Every structure is written in structure tokens, then in C-alpha cells.
């Protein structure tokens, strides 16, 4: 609960400091995504710090694991409530949050699984800063700019690397390990299935974007780096 309040406080700070000429709902979404951007960096930093010290599946959680798990659990509770309040969510993201919350609660309650959680955080949060940077650009009306194209391409490539090249072997180790409790194996497998589903959609979008770029090159069209962000209020 303390962690949730800390993340909510960060959202409040962003709400007080950031005011832009965009529709109200987009403004709430942008502020929340800034909090999510910070959480992504939080998870990547601590996951890499832990995994560089070695991996031991099924081992008891250290104080470090407990701190990171509780801090991140607080974020997912905050984020779920925030998105529901401001109407900036969809069913798939709520399902994703429920799977993550169930896995983290299982780790905290059982006192083990911290290493597996760090692996999961690296896989699932590796591209989150890129995702939220891309989505913030979209909220700021930059979808037809060069910087958005680069951000979107970077996100797709990072997603395929983290969820497939790293994620599939990591989830395989977790699912097949007898040291990992059943609930964590189920949650890990569920998340990877969701990542594969999203990846299929992203692969189609990536092909479309590359085709659009080729067409622009043939037509001699050059995208601007930025455009104005003004919107009419919804």
C-alpha cells in the first residue's frame, strides 16, 4: 500500500507540473505513462543488477527481492486503479496486470521466486520505456513525424528481442523447473502466450510501416521531425 501511494504521489506531481494543449483524457494518459516510464526504468535497473549476481531458481527471496517486488506490486495496483478511474485501459492490459499481480503476490506470499520475477521483469519491462515514449509521442500528435517512426521501429525490434530471443528461453527455464512453484509457472506461461499474441499483431504493423516508408521514398516524401501538438478539446 505504501508503494502504491508513492506511485500515486508521483502521478500527482506530474499532474500538477505538466499541462499541455491536448484533450483532457489524453493528458491523464500522458501523465500516467510518465509514471509507467519511471517504473520501467526501475524494473530494468534492479532486474539487471540482480541477475548479474547469478541466478538460482526457486531460492528464497532476499531483502532486495522483497523490496523490488513490493515496489513493483504497488505500481501495478496503482496503475490498474488509475486506468480504471480515468478510462484509459482495455481488457488485454487489465488481463496482463492481473497476471503480473498474481505472480508477484505469489512470490511475496511464498517467500521464494524472486529470481524468476527478476527474469520476468527484464523480459516484460525491457521495452516499456520505448513503448511509453512512443505512446506519449502519439498523444502529442506526433504520429506523422520522423521521430515517431524511429520510436515505433525501436520498440518493435526491442519487443521481438526481449520477448522472443530472451523471453522464450527464460520462460522455458521457469516452466520446466521443479524448484519453481506451480502458480508462478502458470503465470509465466500465461504472460509469454500474451506476448506471442501481441507480437503477431506487431509483426503485421512493422511490415506495414516499412511498406509505407518505401512508398514515401519512391514518392520523395520526407516526414517532419516534429509537428504542432494543439488539439480541440474532446
CA contacts within 13 A on the Cβ side of 66: 7
Q: Which three cell numbers stand for residue 115?
A: 529470481
Tell me: the pLDDT tens digits for 81-100? 999 999 988 888 888 898 88
Q: Is pLDDT of 231 > 70?
A: no
CA-closest candidate to residue 107, choices 41, 45, 187, 168: 187
pLDDT at 53: 80
Judge whether residue 183 has pLDDT over 90: no
Neighbours of 56 (CB within 10 A): 11
The per-residue pLDDT for range 12-42, each reduced to its tens digit, is 999 999 999 889 999 999 999 999 999 999 9
Is a pLDDT exceeding 90 seen at residue 179?
no
**Confidence at 234, pLDDT banded by 50, 70, 90:** very low
59: confidence class by pLDDT, cuts 50, 70, 90: confident
Q: What percent of the chain has pLDDT over 70?
A: 98
Q: What is the structure's pLDDT at 33?
A: 96
What is the rounded CA–CA span in Å between residue 125 and residue 111? 22
CB 194 within 8 A of CB 92: yes
Residue 66 has pLDDT above 90, yes or no: yes
Which pLDDT belongs to residue 232? 52
Amino acid at each position: 500500500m505504501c508503494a502504491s501511494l508513492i506511485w500515486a504521489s508521483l502521478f500527482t506531481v506530474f499532474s500538477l507540473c505538466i499541462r499541455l494543449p491536448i484533450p483532457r483524457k489524453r493528458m491523464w494518459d500522458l501523465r500516467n505513462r510518465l509514471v509507467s516510464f519511471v517504473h520501467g526504468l526501475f524494473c530494468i535497473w534492479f532486474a539487471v543488477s540482480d541477475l548479474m549476481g547469478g541466478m538460482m531458481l526457486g531460492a528464497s527471496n532476499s531483502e532486495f527481492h522483497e523490496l523490488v517486488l513490493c515496489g513493483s506490486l504497488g505500481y501495478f495496483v496503482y496503475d490498474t486503479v488509475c486506468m480504471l478511474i480515468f478510462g484509459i485501459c482495455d481488457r488485454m492490459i487489465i488481463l496482463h496486470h492481473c497476471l503480473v499481480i498474481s505472480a508477484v503476490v505469489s512470490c511475496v506470499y511464498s517467500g521464494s521466486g524472486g529470481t524468476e520475477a527478476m527474469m520476468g521483469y527484464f523480459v516484460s519491462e525491457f521495452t516499456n520505456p520505448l513503448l511509453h515514449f512512443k505512446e506519449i509521442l502519439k498523444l502529442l500528435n506526433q504520429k506523422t513525424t520522423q521521430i515517431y517512426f524511429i520510436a515505433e521501429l525501436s520498440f518493435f525490434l526491442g519487443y521481438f528481442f526481449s520477448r522472443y530471443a530472451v523471453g522464450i528461453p527464460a520462460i522455458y527455464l521457469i516452466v520446466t523447473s521443479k524448484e519453481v512453484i506451480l502458480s508462478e509457472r502458470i503465470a509465466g506461461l500465461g504472460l509469454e502466450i500474451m506476448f506471442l499474441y501481441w507480437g503477431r499483431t506487431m509483426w503485421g504493423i512493422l511490415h506495414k510501416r516499412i511498406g509505407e516508408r518505401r512508398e514515401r521514398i519512391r514518392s520523395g516524401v520526407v516526414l517532419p521531425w516534429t509537428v504542432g501538438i494543439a488539439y480541440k478539446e474532446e
